[in-house]
Amino acid sequence: MKKNILVIPGDGIGPEVTQWGKAVLEQIAISFNHEFNFDEALMGHAAIEATGNPLPDETLEKARKSDAILFGAVGHAKYDNDPSLKVRPEQGLLKIRKELGLYANLRPILLFDELLNASSIKAHILRGTDILFFRELTGDVYFGEKTRSEDKNTASDLMIYHKYEIERIAHKAYEAAMQRGRKLCSVDKANVLESSRLWRETVQEIAKQYPEVETQHLFVDNAAMQLIKDPKQFDVVLTANLFGDILTDEASQIAGSMGMLASASIGDGTGFFEPIHGSAHDITGKDLANPLASILSVALMLEISFGLKEEAQLIISTIDRVLKDGYRTSDIADDSTSPYKVLGTQDMGKLVLKFITQQT
C-alpha cells in the first residue's frame, strides 16, 4: 500500500513523542512491504516563531493533500502565562480541525491489564474497562462567537450547536456501538443548557434508528462521577466538544496516564491522529514523555484511515508485550517501581521498534 503521511510535531513534547510514532510507521512499512512517504509541517508555537501564523497556509495545503496526518501537540508556557496574547498556538489546532471537517474525535480508553496498578483507581474497579469516547470536535463553545467588552471587564463565549452537527456525530457513535457492546451513553447538561436540550432531543431521535443499541443519557456532572465510580458500565460515550475534552483527560486515569491515550479525528476527508495530551511544558526536554500515546495514534491511523488491521493489532500487542516484560516510562510506573525497568522516551521508543522488528 502506498500512502502520503504528513507529520506535524508541534511544540513541547510533541516532537519528542511524534518521532517515535513516525519511526513505528517506518518500521511497519518495512515489515509489511508498504510505501509510506512522509512530509513535515509546522503548527502552533513553532509555526508562530517561523511565520507569525499558528497554522500557515502551507501546512493546510500539505494536510489537504495527504492521506493521513500524525500530530504531536501544541502549546507554550509563554501563552499560558499571558492570556492577553492574541495569536496563540492552540488556534492552529482548532483551525485545522475546522478546515479539514474533523467533526468526530474518537478517544479509546484502552486499558492494558499490566497497567491496572498504574491508575489512581482501584484495580478491581478498572478491570475489564473498554470505553470509546466520541467527542464532537468542530462545534460548541469552542467555535461560538467570542466577545470582550470595551472596558475589558465582561467576556462571553457562545455555546452553540446546530442539529446537523449533532446528527452526524451521533450516527458515527451509534455505528461504532453496533460493532461493540451495543451500549451508548450520551452526556450533556440538558437540565440547564439549551444547546444540550437540542443535543438530547437529537440523540433521542437518532436512537430510534438503532433499536439494538441500549441508549442512556447522563448529565455531565454525574457522568464525571460515574466514570471513576464504575467505568465498566460504559461502552460508547457520545458527548459535546467541551465535555468530551474534560471527561477524556479524567478517563486517562483509567488507562493509567495521559501518555497512554490516543485519538483519531475523522470527518469529511483526511484523518488526523494525535495523543490526547498537550505539549507538557513540565517535562519537555527531559526524556520523560511517554511515547506510547503517539504510537497508539499510529495504530488508529493504520486501522481507520488505511484499513490495515493486522498492522494496527501488531502495534497494540507489541505494547502489551513491552509492558508485560516490565518496561515502563515513569508516568506509568506505580509506587512500587523497583520491579520495573523505568525507561525514558528514547529507550521506550527504541524498545517498541525492536519488538516490532522481532515479530515480523
Nearest approach, Cβ of residue 335 and ligand IPM (Å): 28
Annotation marks residue 334 as catalytic: no
The window from 25-33, 120-128, 155-163, 277-285 that contacts ligand NAD (CB under 6 A) reads 277-285
Q: Is 43 in the site for ligand NAD (CB under 6 A)?
A: no
Contact yes or no for 6/63 (Cβ under 8 A) = yes
CA neighbor of 140 nearest in space, from 172, 108, 88, 97: 97
Residue with cell 509510506: 36
Partners of 104 in the beta sheet? 136, 266
Q: Is 264 in the site for ligand IPM (CB under 6 A)?
A: no
The window from 186-194, 210-218, 282-290, 319-327 that contacts ligand NAD (CB under 6 A) reads 282-290
Contacting residues for 89 by C-beta, under 8 A, at least 6 apart: 10, 11, 43, 44, 45, 47, 48, 54, 74, 75, 76, 79, 279
Q: Which is catalytic among the residues 39, 80, 130, 245?
A: 245
**Among 277, 298, 301, 355, which residue sits at the site for ligand NAD (rule: CB under 6 A)?**
277
Given the complex with ligand IPM, which of 249 and 334 has the nearer CB atom? 249
Given the complex with ligand NAD, which of 89 and 231 has the nearer CB atom? 89
Given the complex with Mn ion, which of 39 and 245 has the nearer CB atom? 245
d(CA 162, CA 328): 44
Binding mask 46-75 for ligand NAD (x = CB under 6 A): ---------------------------xxx
How many helices, marked H, and strands, marked E, lie in the chain?
Answer: 13, 14
CA neighbor of 117 nearest in space, from 359, 358, 334, 342: 334
- The partner in contact with residue 280, picked from ligand IPM, ligand NAD, Mn ion, none with C-beta cut-offs of 5 to 8 angstroms by kind, is ligand NAD
Q: Is 267 in the site for ligand NAD (CB under 6 A)?
A: no
Annotation marks residue 268 as catalytic: no
**Among 26, 58, 201, 282, which residue sits at the site for ligand NAD (rule: CB under 6 A)?**
282
**Among 245, 287, 320, 334, which residue sits at the site for ligand IPM (rule: CB under 6 A)?**
245
CA neighbor of 10 nearest in space, from 71, 53, 55: 71
Contact yes or no for 105/263 (Cβ under 8 A) = yes
E strand or H helix at 261: none
Given the complex with ligand IPM, which of 93 and 299 has the nearer CB atom? 93
Nearest approach, Cβ of residue 218 and ligand NAD (Å): 24
Q: Where are the beta strands (DSSP E) in 41-173?
A: 68-73, 104-110, 130-136, 146-148, 155-157
- The partner in contact with residue 331, picked from ligand NAD, ligand IPM, Mn ion, none with C-beta cut-offs of 5 to 8 angstroms by kind, is ligand NAD
Give the residue numbers marked as catalytic: 142, 189, 221, 245, 249
